[in-house]
């Protein structure tokens, strides 16, 4: 379904915590059989992340439900995209791309010249999407017992 207007992006508030967790659960639980372990975003403390002001949520104009979110953590040299998630019900509408574009705009507005992320090496469809959007694989390592691919996009 095409977008019917720009979605609303806003910083999450404490009342969003349950919806944030529901989006993360819906987006990441299908990956458990693929990677054989719970993805790290399923283990995050979203109450703490929301309190820290690092969670941005996306709500479509044509639907009041939260469709996606992004967790952005500023670092000295880059903006870390710690998590980007779109509820599968809303996938295919450009929301993931909108969240990543938001991360890039945020990085630029704070003077950072790149954005970076990491993902499990078996999440091939995600890696392919990031590559199509200009991200390049920079390193591969094991992070918290999981094989991950680090990717960076220079702005």
84-119 pLDDT, tens digit each: 999 999 999 999 999 999 999 999 999 999 999 999
Bridge partners (DSSP) listed for residue 98: none
Q: Could you tell me how far CA 141 lies from the centroid of its own chain?
A: 20
Q: Beta strands 79-86 and 114-120: pairing type?
A: parallel
- Name the pLDDT band for 63 (thresholds 50, 70, 90): confident
Quick one: pLDDT at residue 1? 41
pTM for this predicted structure: 0.93
CA angle (55, 45, 74) in 5-degree steps:
40
Average pLDDT on 21-41 reads 96
The burial class, CB within 10 Å (0-12 / 13-18 / 19+), for 91 is middle
Q: Which domains does the chain have, with CATH numbers?
A: 8-154 (3.40.630.30)
- Name the pLDDT band for 4 (thresholds 50, 70, 90): low
CB 64 within 8 A of CB 50: no
Quick one: pLDDT at residue 5? 62
Quick one: pLDDT at residue 144? 86
Nearest CA among 126, 129, 133, 10 for reference residue 60? 10
Average pLDDT on 72-82 reads 96
């Amino acid at each position: 379904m095409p977008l019917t207007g720009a979605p609303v992006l806003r910083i999450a508030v404490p009342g969003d915590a349950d919806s944030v967790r529901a989006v993360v659960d819906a987006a990441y639980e299908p990956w458990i059989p693929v990677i054989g372990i719970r993805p790290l975003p399923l283990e995050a403390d979203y109450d703490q992340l929301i309190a820290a002001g690092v969670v941005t949520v996306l709500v479509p104009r044509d639907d009041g439900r939260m469709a996606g979110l992004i967790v952005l953590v500023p670092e000295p040299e880059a903006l870390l995209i710690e998590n980007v998630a779109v509820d599968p019900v809303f996938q295919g509408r450009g929301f993931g791309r909108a969240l990543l574009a938001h991360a890039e705009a945020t990085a630029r507005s704070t003077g950072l010249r790149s954005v970076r992320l990491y993902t499990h090496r078996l999440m091939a469809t995600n890696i392919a999407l990031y590559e199509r959007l200009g991200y390049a694989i920079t390193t591969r390592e094991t992070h918290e017992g999981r094989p991950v691919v680090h990717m960076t996009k220079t702005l």
